[in-house]
Amino acid sequence: MVEYERTPSAGARDKAPRICIVGVGGAGSNVIDRITLDRIVDGTLVCMHTDIRVLSHSMAPVKVQLGVELMKGIGAGGDPDLGREAALFSREQIRQAIEGHDIIFISAGLGGGSGSGAAPVIAEIAKNTGALVLVVASMPFAFEGRRRIGQAEEALELLQKRADALVLFENNRMGELVLPKDGIQKAFTLADQLIAQCVRAVATITATPGLVKLGLDDLTAALSTANGRCLFGFGEARGQNRGTEALKKALKSPLIDQGRLLHQTRTLLVHVAGGESLTLVEVEGIMKQLGRNVPDQTHILFGLAVDAKLGDSVAVTLISSLGLAQLNAHAAAAPPAEMMAPRAEAAAPVPAVAPPAPRRESRRAPAAPKQEESFLFAAEEIMPEPAPAQPKLADDFVEAAEPASEAREAFEDSAEVHGDADDSPPWGEEADEQAGVDHPAPVFAPTPETARIPVRTPAAKELADAARENGRGLAAVVARSVTLQTEPPPVQQDDLLVLDPPAPASTITASIVSRSKPVEQPTLGIGEEDRGRFKDTEPSIVDGDDLDVPTWKRLKMKLKA
Amino acid sequence: MAKTTIYAGLEIGTHKICVVVGEAKKDGAIKILGVGQAPSRGVRKGEIVDFETVQTCLNDALVRAEDRSDVMIRNVFLGVTGAHIQSLNNRGCYRLPDDQTEITEDDVEEAKEIARNVSIPQQNVFLHSVTRQYIVDGVEGVRQPIGREGRLLEADYHIIHGIRGRIQNAIRCVREIPLEVEDVVFNPVAAAQVVLTREAKTQGALMIDFGAGTCDYVLYQEGMITASGCVPLGGDHITNDVALALQIPNGRAERLKVEEGSVLYEDVPEGEMLSIEDDTGLVLGEVPRAFLNEVMSLRTREILEQVKARCAAHLAHLGAGVFLTGGVSLMKGVEALAHEVFGMKITRAGSAPVSGITSTFENPQFSAPIGLIRYAQILDAEKPYLSPLKRLGRRMQEILSSIAV
């Protein structure tokens, strides 16, 4: 644990405003960890969570466990109502932790239980202490499902009423921070780093006196787009051409997309800070260069500060916002393929998603004896199991079958808390166990809810590849997948008995693969090789679909998923 | 005596490069003198990806056109397309000074200026800005406002713009031949001049130029251009789908598509097989005809649906229905499929009759290049008349300025 005792000194300097940064929920606590590790902001760091495990891992010096009696140290499980209740229960502790500050940052990942539920309550408490409240929130990934996005939007509305300024990040765009082959860990680290940088920048801009001062009013003006998402870029450089370099770095931020996104913004906040050696020519150069990236009618809010701490380097901060619709339109041009990674990882161990694949495969295989063999083999394997499991099976099912999607969410939660690497194996094992128990029962596998989850499993990909090898079999597959919207599961009762057994094996391998080599997962999306003749052209993307990929292939993937 | 002018239209398509030489008579008639075409390589989705190959093909086409028409081609009207081209409608509003009640030419210019002053992305450039109509004191549909009494003049514009660099690329490619580019025209705008009759434009019509690389469309309502654009999907995508589905090379897939393909698969008898042959006539394998048709149909429907989605706001009042032109409109069954998608009258059309080589204007593949000739003619007609002396003066000026540069 890193001891972090800067607060008293910050408080002692009576001119400097006292800053408090609160991380709420899993995503928030990660940002706090990042800020603690990088020591980039002077201020009190507070971590708030319902889950005691996350709290105990957190590096923040002050920790508040939300709803001790109510939640008993367990996470809110993706339910914002629980998160809200928990925060209300512990409002006294929250008040104590954040009292006596001038500026309070609240960092939260919206969409989950603690983040969306507790953050508005905390914001209100913070407001009541008389501090300036700035919320830095991130919206969930699109693949996390409609419901989570809905929850995030609800929380957003609540936060908007309570916060003085709201800086909103779109997680979907975070995917572009990293190369597709980089690990998921790195992606999250970079995302946290970016948010941490933003917190620092906002703190510096609003708190430090400058030659050309920017205030909170400017910040809110820059962020005032309806349903806007924050565009943020930060760059720091030293040496020759430091001004240009710093601006280049700031523009390189994926949230700005090489400055392309700035073409559509109405208001742009630019803050240039440098050491005592900062010259007017440098500032002029930066602004001139920036002018090329910004349309003439954009309102540029310019701020300038000399900060001795920066030494001989120059820092450029760009903050603006863009409506979600515009952002999506722009993002469509480059889909974050790597974003499939966490989803696929999350989905692989869920047993119900995998079975369709082997079923198809074996139907395609002409060798009948092989099927029998595998059936026998599997039957042997299963035989000892069902006897003890059978009585338990009934309530197991109520738990396992119905909240399948809930389980998935929970798993993603744990994927989000990527710090806990040892969290996932138990999950995977549990899932595998479930797979073993569930498969003898034919009712479970084709549950329509699970079949509809839009997941591109490794199995689906395998299937697509396999199907391509076999032109004639494909004809049947395409014809079926197009003409029959869903397969009639009840008719295939005995069919399932024969064909199901290979399933456990394949789920296990799938989960092993996803655990040992998470780096390879990103290629799971619609790959380059599927585009054929259009490989080296600009993709035509509409609603997230790459239209250069054959229509039949995309339709099939949708039906599979 | 009717004076004639000779124009050349050049379309660098994804499937073919085509040069049409036409003679525009003073009375408005057009005569096609010659057509030169060459298969195109190095173009994807309507945009040039490989300059040198395109230039070789372009030279071929040019030589053929010059041969057939016996005309030496110096200047061309260049048709362009590509996913980057977008359009929008804008209205400029100009209030007359208080002491003036009659609209003068200057006022119109002022209103036009305001209408044209829209913000387009920085790297974009205006391709066309077409006056749709003028509105005087709220009275719509005024064609000629000069001399009218009014207080408020509005100019309604349809503006087509695209990325400067990509348009420049096409121009540069042609200039290196060397050919002078007289004007750059968005393909469907040109094609619509010959595919749609005045009556169709007044009734309301959607013209889709379904080419190999792109599917360009332009929509007219009440005689005014209302929407236009480009969907970067075309016949190539159909071929590609077939190639990937049947695991055959692209060339063979293209042939199969043209010779055997259709987009109607429901009426195909079950089990009807098609044999795939290689160049020597050796049978490589068989595919069910229904499967081939289905793959093609899925893609074609999707492309048409994309077009529909993009002009969905204006589809309500199209009296004349949809006009299909371009190479893919020759595909079997595409009419029926389009009817399913749009739910209105579908007409497969080439260019309107002009004199000259009949097979040319009847072929929908040549709509755009012939349209370029017609467009050039319209453009010239709109230019103010200059006396021969003035024209000479202007010519000299041009030459001098080009030397100065």
**pLDDT for position B380:** 81
Question: What CATH number did the domain enclosing A139 receive?
Answer: 3.40.50.1440
Q: Looking at the structure, tell me whether residues A61 and A187 fall in a common domain.
A: yes
Higher pLDDT, A37 or A436: A37
Say yes or no: B162 contacts chain A, CB-CB below 8 A. Answer: no
The whole-model pTM stands at 0.49
Å from A239 to nearest chain B CA? 31
Least-confidence region, from A89-98, A196-205, B323-332: A196-205
| Predicted pLDDT at A145 | 80
Residue A307 counted as domain residue: yes
Same domain membership, residue A144 and residue A266: no
Q: Which of A299-308, A395-404, B45-54, B204-213 has the lowest mean pLDDT?
A: A395-404
pLDDT in tens, A104-153: 888 888 888 888 888 888 888 888 888 888 888 888 877 778 888 888 88
Q: Which of B232, B246, B294 sits opposite A482 (nearest CB)?
A: B294
Q: Please give the sequence-ordered ranges of beta strands (E in DSSP) within B27-72, or none if there are none.
A: 30-39, 43-44, 47-48
* CA–CA separation, B142 and B152 (whole Å): 13
Res A11 pLDDT > 70: no
Using CB atoms, which residue from A479, A534, A555 is nearest to B44?
A534
Averaged over B317-346, what is the pLDDT?
91
Burial of A533: CB neighbours in 10 Å, binned 0-12, 13-18, 19+: middle
With respect to residue A218, please indicate whether it lies within any of the assigned structural domains.
Answer: no
What does the alpha-carbon distance between residue A193 and residue B203 come to, in Å, rounded to a whole number?
59
Q: Distance (Å) from the C-alpha of residue A301 to the closest C-alpha of chain B? A: 20
* Greatest mean pLDDT among A328-332, A465-469, B66-70: B66-70
Which residues of B fall within a CB distance of 8 Å from A542?
Answer: 306
Q: Which residue of B has its CA nearest to A263?
A: B121
Q: What is the mean pLDDT of chain B?
A: 86
Interface ipTM above 0.85: no
- Minimal CA separation from A5 to chain B, in Å: 49
- Domain boundaries, position A503: 337-560
Q: Which residues of B touch A475 (CB under 8 A)?
A: 287-288, 291
Nearest to B157, CA basis, from B183, B187, B127? B127
Picking from B122, B236, B243, the nearest residue to A263 by CB comes out as B122
Count: domains in chain A = 3
Strands of A220-298, DSSP E: 228-238, 267-274
Decide: A549 and A531 in contact? Cβ < 8 Å: yes
Task: Please tell me the least confidently modeled range out of A37-41, A298-302, A454-458, B14-18.
Answer: A454-458
Measured between CB atoms, which of A264, A295, A550 is closest to B245?
Answer: A550
Q: Count residue pairs from A and B with Cβ separation < 8 A.
A: 85
The answer to whether residue A217 sits within a structural domain is no
* A60 and A188 housed in the same domain: yes
| Angle formed by the axes of helices B235-246 and A551-560, nearest 10° | 60
pLDDT in tens, A247-258: 888 887 767 766
| A468 vs B contacts (CB less than 8 Å) | 244, 247
A521 and A389 belong to one structural domain: yes
A263–chain B Cβ distance below 8 A for any pair:
yes
Is A50 in a helix, a strand, or coil? Answer: coil
Q: Are residues A299 and A350 in the same domain?
A: no
Q: Is the pLDDT of residue B152 over 80?
A: yes
Identify the pLDDT of residue A332: 52
Select the more confidently predicted residue: B188 or A556: B188
State pLDDT tens for residues A216-275: 777 777 777 666 677 788 888 887 778 888 888 888 776 776 666 777 777 888 888 888
Residues in contact with A68: Cβ distance below 8 Å, sequence separation at least 6, in sequence order: A89, A90
A551 Cβ under 8 Å from any chain B Cβ:
yes
Average pLDDT, chain A: 65
Of A536, A542, A552, the CB nearest to B295: A552
Of B49, B247, B288, the CB nearest to A537: B49
Do A533 and B291 count as a contact with CB atoms less than 8 A apart? no
pLDDT surpasses 60 at B163: yes
**Count of CB atoms situated within 10 Å of the CB of B385:** 7
- Residue A554 CB contacts under 8 Å (≥ 6 apart), including other chains: A526, A545, A546
Q: Give how far the C-alpha of residue B336 lies from the chain's centroid of Cα atoms, to the nearest Å.
A: 23
Identity (one letter) of the amino acid at A455?
V
Query: From the candidates A268, A541, A551, A557, which should be mutated to test the interface with B, based on the most B CB atoms within 10 A?
Result: A551
Give the residue among A178, A72, A158, A171 at the shortest CA–CA distance from A416.
A171
Q: Does B239 touch chain A (CB under 8 A)?
A: yes
The answer to whether the CB of B79 falls within 8 A of the CB of B369 is: yes
Indicate if the pLDDT at residue A522 is higher than 70.
Answer: no
Query: What are the tens digits of pLDDT across the range A405-460?
Result: 444 444 444 444 444 444 444 444 444 444 444 444 343 333 343 333 333 334 44
| pLDDT recorded at residue A494 | 39
Q: What is the mean pLDDT of residues A375-402?
A: 43
User: What six digits make up the tokens of B242?
Assistant: 């077939």
Q: Which domain-ending residue is among A294, A323, A352?
A: A323
Please report the pLDDT score of residue A418 as a whole number. 44
Per-residue pLDDT reduced to its tens digit, A83-103: 888 888 888 888 888 888 888
Which residues, including other chains, have CB under 8 Å from residue A104's CB and lie 6 or more apart?
A: A19, A20, A21, A22, A98, A126, A129, A131, A132, A133, A134
Query: What are the CB-based long-range contacts (under 8 Å, 24+) for A470-474?
Result: A470/A364, A471/B245, A471/B246, A471/B247, A471/B285, A471/B287, A472/B287, A473/A364, A474/B245
The answer, yes or no, to whether the previous bond of B178 is cis (omega within 30 of 0) is yes
CB atoms within 10 A of CB B2: 8
* Residue to substitute from B291, B299, B301, interface A, most A β-carbons within 10 A: B291
Is residue A52 within 8 angstroms of chain B, CB to CB? Answer: no
Q: Which residues of A touch B246 (CB under 8 A)?
A: 471
Condensed to tens digits (0 to 9), the pLDDT of residues B270-309 reads 788 888 877 677 777 888 888 899 899 999 999 999 999 9
**Domain assignment of residue A456, yes or no:** yes
Question: For residue A258, what is the domain's CATH number?
Answer: 3.30.1330.20
At residue A544, the pLDDT reads 74
- Beta-carbon separation of B244 and A550 below 8 A: yes
Question: Do A473 and A371 share a domain, yes or no?
Answer: yes
Residue of B nearest to A264 (CA): B121
Q: Are residues A1 and A65 in the same domain?
A: yes
Contact status of A535 with chain B (Cβ, < 8 Å): no
- Report d(CA A84, CA A89) in Å as an integer: 9
pLDDT reading at A276 higher than 60: yes
B272-305 burial, b if ≥16 CB within 10 A, otherwise e?
eebebeeeeeeeeeebbbbbbbbbbbbbbbbbbe
pLDDT at B60: 92
Q: Which residues of A499-520 are buried (b: 16+ CB within 10 A; e: fewer)?
A: bbbbbbebbbebbeebeeebee
Last residue of a domain, one of A270, A299, A323: A323
CB of A536 less than 8 A from some CB of B: yes
Do A297 and B237 count as a contact with CB atoms less than 8 A apart? no
pLDDT at residue B209 tops 60: yes
CA distance A259 to chain B (A): 12
Domain match, A415 and A271 both: no
Mean pLDDT of B232-254: 89
Same domain, residue pair A490 and A357: yes
Instruction: Flag whether residue A333 sits within 8 Å of chain B, measured between CB atoms.
Output: no
**A203 belongs to a structural domain:** yes
Residue B9: per-residue pLDDT: 92
Residues of chain A neighbouring B237 (CB-CB closer than 8 A): 534, 547-548
The confidence score (pLDDT) of residue A136 equals: 85
Least confident of A23-37, A163-177, A412-426, B42-56: A412-426
Query: By percentage, how much of chain A surpasses pLDDT 90?
Result: 0
Residue A37 binned pLDDT confidence (cut-offs 50, 70, 90) = confident
Min Cα separation B242/chain A (Å): 8
B residues 83-142 lying closer than 8 A (beta carbon) to A: 83, 119, 121-122
Instruction: Tell me the mean pLDDT in the region B314-331.
Output: 90
| Cα dihedral sign, A214-A220-A225-A228 | positive
How close A262 gets to chain B, by Cα (Å)?
10
Look at residue B386 and tell me whether its pLDDT is greater than 50.
yes
In this predicted structure, what is the pLDDT of residue A416?
Answer: 44
Measured from the Cβ of residue B380, the count of other Cβ atoms closer than 10 Å reads 11
**Domains defined along chain B, listed by start:** 86-161 (3.30.1490.110), 198-351 (3.30.420.40)
CA atoms within 13 A on the CB side of B253: 22
Interface contact B277, partner A, CB < 8 A: no
Cβ <8 Å between A547 and B233? yes
Q: Quote the pLDDT of residue A331.
A: 54
pLDDT at A485: 35
Domain annotation covers residue A213: no
Q: Do B83 and A551 touch (CB under 8 A)?
A: no
State whether residue B269 is helix, strand or coil: coil
What pLDDT score was predicted for residue A400?
43
Predicted confidence at residue A179, as pLDDT, reads 60
Q: Does B393 touch chain A (CB under 8 A)?
A: no
CB contact under 8 A, B45 and A553: no
More confident residue, B357 or B259: B259
Per the domain annotation, does A312 fall within a domain?
yes
C-alpha distance from residue B63 to each of A118, B35, B38, B356 (Å): 75, 10, 10, 19
Domain boundary among A207, A240, A269: A207
Clarify whether residues A317 and A363 are in a common domain. Answer: no
In a domain, A331, yes or no: no
Asked if residue A319 and residue A341 are part of one domain, the reply reads: no
Q: Is the pLDDT of residue B336 over 60?
A: yes
Best to test chain B binding among A263, A268, A538 (most B CBs inside 10 Å):
A538
Rounded to the nearest angstrom, the minimum Cα separation between B23 and chain A is 37
| A164 and A263 housed in the same domain | no
Looking at residues B186-201, what average pLDDT do you find?
91
Contact with chain B for residue A209, Cβ under 8 A = no
